[in-house]
Amino acid sequence: MGARVGQEARCGSQGRSAPGSGAGARPGGKRRSCTLRSGSDPEAEGLPGRLGVSAQWGGPGQKRRRWHPGPSWGLGGRESEGNTVLGMASSSPDSPCSCDCFVSVPPASAIPAVIFAKNSDRPRDEVQEVVFVPAGSHTPGSRLQCTYIEVEQVSKTHAVILSRPSWLWGAEMGANEHGVCIGNEAVWTKEQVGEGEALLGMDLLRLALERSSSAQEALHVITGLLERYGQGGSCLEDPAPFSYHNTFLLADRTEAWVLETAGRLWAAQRIQEGARNISNQLSIGTDISVQHPELRTHAQAKGWWDGQGAFDFAQVFSLTQQPVRMEAAKARFRAGQELLQQWQGGITAEVMMGILRDKESGICMDSGGFRTTASMVSVLPQDPTQPCVHFLTATPDPSRSVFKPFIFGVGVAQAPQVLSPTFGAQDPVRTLPRFQTRVDRRHTLYRGHQAALGLMESDQDRGQQLQQKQQDLEQEGLKATQGLLASEWAPSLQELGSLFQAFVKRESQAYASAS
């Protein structure tokens, strides 16, 4: 996935390397390059033997500097200016919670595929699980319990893979069996955020994935549900309510859509080529592809727009005095734009992973009470005969996590290591008043990963060895899926379906052996 299909990934002067993973990766400068050597046995897990060959790894640096080979996922990267050893970078403690979504549509992508990516930034102790939900048939007229309210169920739902905060029903990001991907973000506008419980933006995301076979259909699902049920309710597992409206990035094999909401109102922009990102702010200006029928009349009635000239959605609906969290989002939004522009025509899964790992810009967040709690990158080939590949971490801090490949297939089942425990009717989200107690939602992989992070910080040598194992495992997944899309590896549907489980198992074993 790090090069055009059928070609070896290259670094250095012969080609652009993917953005780096870890501290020191900054937009705008010379890329570092290093070689990873796989020491594991891919054939033991049914993966092609070619995964053991060396692969290239690289990333951008803001200053003109030469990076030397070595672990670069947050520890051990060495730069030649004074041979400074860079550790984990961190944003200001005052930085707010945030999310960042990215999409690349050919010709911005290096391969004939739409590439989607998201970092989910949430309270630092919140656990995200990766949940597989198979397709289903449902009784007409039945009801569906979402996080806070019930909605009418549809007769058929699609299979989905979700990365979600383990206390709620919806999801921060996910994909379905038809190659539709969605990520959401918090946004605050002039439209008042309601105090009552309704559908969370994360509920809308999951409902759209379960009910749509294209990005455009997903947009219609979300806007229809928004009109009928509204959005609202606390978005944190905390007795103090924290609510917001939502923006969404929706993608499929052929195009993407940005959907931005203000209460029940909304505007959407279609992206049929190039790269786009969103970061906790309204970003649709006058280029509106479709909108709520009452959007402009409502703005006029409120005195936000005089009805003359071009209608700029972001300008009309954005708060005059932006909260700190949205001011900070502007810098991340610009940094994301710059990184996407820098890689126009060469964006791959590895490039997106590198962008998600960029700490200097704040895209990879680690600040006080918030951090990047999970990440996802998806490759959606334009050729419908090729499978879509979704890489998920299921653990916090992508600069020290493994992106593991998931592909829909007949053998897909839930990986138990990334599923959080359940508490039924006694769950704090179910008992009223809500969130008066806390429960331990950590799943097996999360526990192992937390222990691994502790080892990386307490023992540099052993930590570097463990990070090398992480890098090797991720590169195997990238090489396997690259071979799949290049028709160099023809696994059975059963093998495809069990791919994510195999990588989760091996990552768990690596953490267990290191403890």
- The residues annotated as belonging to the active site are 99
Amino acid present at 337: Q
Q: What does the DSSP assignment read for 68-80?
A: PSS--SSS-EEBS
- Cα–Cα separations (whole angstroms), residue 97 to 155, 239, 334, 359: 37, 18, 17, 14
Sign of the dihedral defined by the CA atoms of residues 433, 435, 439, 441, in that order? positive
Burial class (CB in 10 A: 0-12, 13-18, 19+), 424: exposed
**Cα 279 to Cα 59, 223, 300, 334, 441, distances in angstroms:** 22, 20, 27, 9, 28
Rounded CA gap, 217 and 219, in Å? 5
- Residue 157 CA: distances (Å) to CA of 207, 234, 406: 9, 26, 19
Kindly give the interhelix angle for 349-356 and 324-342, rounded to the nearest 10 degrees. Answer: 150
**Would you state the structure tokens that stand for residue 158, as one six-digit string?**
């699609």
Q: Give the count of beta carbons closer than 10 Å to the beta carbon of residue 57.
A: 27
**Backbone phi, psi, residue 419, to 5°:** -110, 125
What's the CA gap between 336 and 342, in Å, rounded?
10
Cα distance between the two ends of the chain: 32
Structure tokens at 69: 């080979």
